Structure 1
Amino acid sequence: MARSAGGPASFRPSPGSIPESPGVYRFRDPGDRVIYVGKAKNLRQRLNSYFADFAGLHPRTQTMLTTAAGVDWTVVGTEVEALQLEYSWIKEYDPRFNVKYRDDKSYPYLAVTMGEEFPRVQVLRGAKRKGTRYFGPYSHAWAIRETVDLLLRVFPIRSCSTGVFRRAGQVGRPCLLGYIDKCSAPCVGRISPEDHRTLAEDFCDFMAGNTGRFVRRLEREMARAAAEQEYERAARLRDDIQALRRAMEKQAVVLGDNTDCDVVALAEDPLEAAVQVFYVRGGRIRGQRGWVVDKVEETGPGELVERFLLQIYGDAAAEAVPREVLVPTLPSDADAIAELLGEHRGGRVEIRVPQRGDKRDLLTTVERNAAEALRQHKLKRASDLTSRSRALQEVADALGLDQAPLRIECYDVSHMQGTDVVASMVVFEDGLARKSEYRRFSVRTTGGDVASIHEVISRRFKRYLEERSATGELDVEMGAEPDADPEAGAGPGIDPGAGAGPGIDLETGRPRKFAYPPNLVVVDGGPAQAAAARRALDELGVDDVAVCGLAKRLEEVWLPDEELPVILPRASEALYLLQRVRDEAHRFAITYHRSKRSRSVRESALDGVPGLGPARRQALIKHFGSVKRLREATAAQICEVPGIGPATAETIVSALKDESS
């Protein structure tokens, strides 16, 4: 084992000391705690990758290596053995840098306590208990209770607590469910333990998907009762059949009757990932479950799927492992994982990516659920007032600001190889997006992202200075202080209804577009972009606005004129907020760039047509919807466009025909 406390280079194993065999390795910190566990088909190749190019590693991997003080490894014979040992070590040591899946909420299960003398049906959450059959999970507890209420007509097994069961036995009188025939009342001896257990087993069989035989049995009994003129009994059996069918209808049929599979889907961003699973048994969706994972290490979709399969099915009962697992991406060791799960299940397990048909459609549905779960998780975190306040204060502390930046503006530049250059400005106030304040820019300068950032910041703050100047003159004329707080509204003696407060346009009564300055400007980029933004502000004399850049690859925060970046903790609310602001600016810029590029591509086909200016080109595209439809139109149809005469229409038809040929 290599061990030291002097950084990664100091505990790097000596050349040739690492075997080329499959194995599992552990990184330990100076306190000898295991902080990361990994596996490899070739230990030498994998471990050397950690030390060959430290600067090129993902920042989270760099953090792990700088935290570590040593590394050891264990050689195994096969990939399956490596998976088994890796899983057992992760479970034993709970390493801080390994991916950990956690439930995004506590899902309820329908449980039948088959380990008791008189099995009981109930709703349970949390850890599973030995000797209990579980069905689900379900999204809501009420969905289970509705199902149980329907099934107790046909399978009247015990559903009361231990205390209620004992008291009923002591007084010799069953509870209400015993009187309304939704419990067979084993507490007072109305049914033997053997017969009650048979009822419980039938209940479990029905929930497991073996529904047909119970419906057919009741139908035969109903027909027999009607033939014997026992009409009241036949009517009750009819109601029992309807109850069973309603219970069956609550589980949607999505695949073939004999299909048992779990459908797994992911949605991720650089920091977190959401996983959703739909459980399909007997072709019906029996439940769903979700997890949210912090991506502590650098992981792709395949590795996330691998970690999920090992962690979730590793502790599951054998019957909980399905015959088939549908995933969005195959892990690199898919065959080894399938073999390991097959050993655990006691039968063959197939892991595959569906390409078409009902299974592909179902995976798409689960992917939408995963994306929505991630969105809701981020929204819940973003909308939490305490988290937002902490994030703003952490940003202020990290950047050395006098106060929390209540208004943050972020800028991003988007282009395609230097063409159709656009930029976006998004605004967050009090940690929440203020979309009415978003702005977009068509960039005029050429010279790359740095020049574009300089231009956009200059344009935005020139407008701010102009509007502040105009507002200041207006306030002086009306007797208000020129430098009044923009958030304070109208000053004394000013009618608020007139809309004459600072930053308000008198004609429209709406806020001026660039009237309010931010406390912090964030640019998407590194030190060059941050310096360009600072230079633009300095040239305009704006010295009360802080500037920083957020670089995508390493998630570093750069301050102007600083040689080293500010490294925010990966799990900090400050980094989460800045990333969300940056990602929103990127999304807004990309959306604008795509629309502009699409429009320019459509109009470029008409650039060479004589007599067509920008207005006529836009009119043609608006009328026909696309160049393709315009190309298919006749001269007479083109003449219907306002401003297009017969001669011009013939020229357009000829020009588009020559171009296509």
Structure 2
Amino acid sequence: MSSIKFKLDNLPQKPGVYLMKDKKNLVIYVGKAKNLSRRVKSYFQNIDAHDLKTKTLVSQIVDFDVILLQTEVEALLLERTLIRKHQPQYNILFRDDKEYPYLKINLNEKWPRILKVRKRKEDDAFYFGPFGSHGQVYDLLKTIYSVFPVIRCSPQVFDNAKKPCHYYHMKQCLAPCSINVDENTYKDMLRCIMSFLKGKDKSVVEILKKRMLEASDKEDYETALSLRNQISSFKKLKESQNVIISSTKKIDVIGFSHSKNKISFTIQHVRKRKLLEQRNFILDLPRPESDKALSSFILQFYSSESIPEEILCQSLPEEKGAFEEIFYQKNLKISVPLKGQKKALLDTSIDNARYALYLEEKRNKNQENLLEHIKKTFALKNTPQRIECIDISNLHKESPVASVVCFMEGKPKKNLYRFYNIKNITDTPNDFESIYEAVKRRLQKGFEEQNLPDLLIIDGGKGQLSSAQRAFKEFFDVKTDLVSLAKSKVLNKKSLSTKTVKSHERVFQVDRQEPVALELGSKAYKLFTQIRDESHRFALKHHRRKREKKLSISSLENIDGIGPTLKKRLFEKFKDLKHMKEASLEEIMKTKGLAAKTAKLLFETLKNL
């Protein structure tokens, strides 16, 4: 939730679309907003006032992304495209719910209208939707009415009209209620609207142009003028949005923005004239040479991605010719657009790259402030850029292991996680001796590889800290700061009449008599407990694996006919007990040297585990 809060606090007051994601990183809802900041924040404010569907949606949101756009029309059209692409759970659910509207057009009527309806019926009409809100439908109708002069009034008003209404004089209605209008011409206009609602924007202009020329040839200049106005209005609409373009090429748009040591790339994928996807990448930039960074990014990105027909970017990479030669078979073209739809698309991509970089730098600045605060609070020698935590796991007093997790600048660095199988095992597990061994081995490795942490956290209290300090004393000039983190303890005796009172979580240090209490909910509390809990999780994970392996070995040892050689072959073939249990009898029998009788016995034994 802290990641969501950070993003909420830094949302821009711009148009765009937002994609809500669940714990599996699946898009569960797509929405559009005139003001992203106000709209997205509304989901997380006054939650009790939300309806049941929205409450359920919010309860499943663990992250969200936004795509910044230039206009509301762009947001409306991109929202439609992304809903079709992702088919989000909470957008799709609206389909059969009468509260969420559709647009309906029935060409069987003499003078069809565009109707907003709450439920789809099994009739001959065409339905478009469902839409996430009535406001969304209103925006879409407003766009349609600005281009196409269709009937807006009710059948009753239409039937009783004596003269054209004000929409006719504003050139926003043909007024078939009181003026002679060709029925087929009117229905052709409705078909254009249907093409627009289906996303077939290019065909709309082509149809309108064809009809305008036909009307002109017949000297029906009034109809030709009306069609010309529709074409003009539609082109203006197209100029005001860039998420649907005229080019049929597969286009990738790469915008970037850089600071002194970071560069942000936003890549937008345009397919079948529509902006379908946006991806952001934040990379280290050793020197502010953005053109070389662009070359490197293009080469690395497209080594594992499909190659488009055209790449739009704000400057040409130094190796433009080489790239086009490398990707010659794909007919790749790299260009810098200077005007038109492609330039507008590129500007949108650059805006999103700037926003992603702004978020990253603000997040890093907040993290720097937190690390400096921790250094000051605990009087550390170092700013804790690299923090490691050691935890011991010895469930059921067997197979003790030590986990070492690493956080760099406040973020988990999982490729640096390590674990140690405790070697000095006695009949009774000894946490203090296990910590001593794990810390000693970590320091030894750190001096060898020159990668000691700035701060080492031990899971435990004073006793665990003393054991770690004993290991520290065996090395010369250890610059790593050392603390231990103890869980909260009960301060009062349990009784039926009194509520249990617990202390804060406490940080113990070698040169301090009393521990420092971590205030619940503080940023230092969140970081320290996150690291400690991650270390505990990692220790348990490895401990379970170790126990399962030990169990699997002992299970095989009890089966007659399976000795060390066959045991080795079985684990080489199936990797672990889990995959062995999932294997069929035929697969097990294929193991070299395994007799059929022994294979059947093994298969039955595995089924009963």
Q: TM-score, normalised by structure 2?
A: 0.41
Determine which structure has greater relative contact order: mean sequence separation of CA pairs < 8 Å that are 6+ residues apart, divided by chain length: 1
Q: TM-score, normalised by structure 1?
A: 0.38
